[in-house]
Homo-oligomer: A and B are copies of this chain.
């Protein structure tokens, strides 16, 4: 459990960036991640055997576990990268002055464009959260929270600009947006929606969350 309790005293294990062993380890990690990523893309997560990954990374299968806690983690690491990329893409094209719901839609489209290239990312990261005891589950949830946080930020700005009602609980709204998008992506992953259909469904849900379902006095 507790890999390193405490360095017992001031035996302070300095990281020492020139340690040959650590460098080797780092290079191995890179090889593993590269191999995994390639094989995931080629065959999909489930068909990409750990032994195959290990072979391509030129090492024994069990050695992988020196660097990674589970196969899921290999994918979740990519998810983290990709999210980072999606966020930075979004920020670059983001116009903070534009309409709040437009920004949210742009956010999701951005994310979706990247996810669409690697369908396993969505599906497997969700699968990972169905192993609640596992470390990876927490990590995925943390990533989700960051996404939700970003959405909340957008909403918050919208609320300040009076695009949104001032009583809206932005965090609840953000997580609702997130879950709705995730749900649509699951349908897509299961072949119930085309990619376009998935995007449309997300857009529709966003729209819905913005305007609500109750009758409105002003005619549409």
Contact = CB atoms under 8 A, between A and B. Distances in A.
Interface residues of A, number: 52
A191 B164 CA distance: 31
Interface in A182-220: 182-184, 186-187, 189-192, 201, 204-205, 208-218, 220
Contacts of A130: 123-124, 126-127, 130, 186, 189
B214 A213 contact: no
A70 to B, nearest CB: 13
Contact of A212 (B175, B205, B209): B209
A96 interface: no
A59 to B, nearest CB: 28
Contacts of A28: none
A38 interface: no
Contacts of A220: 167
A214 B183 contact: no
Interface string A15-29: 000000000000000
A163 interface: yes
A141 interface: yes
The 3 closest A-B pairs by CB, nearest first: A212-B212, A179-B183, A127-B130
Interface of A: 46, 123-124, 126-127, 129-132, 137-138, 141, 155, 162-169, 172-173, 175-176, 178-180, 182-184, 186-187, 189-192, 201, 204-205, 208-218, 220
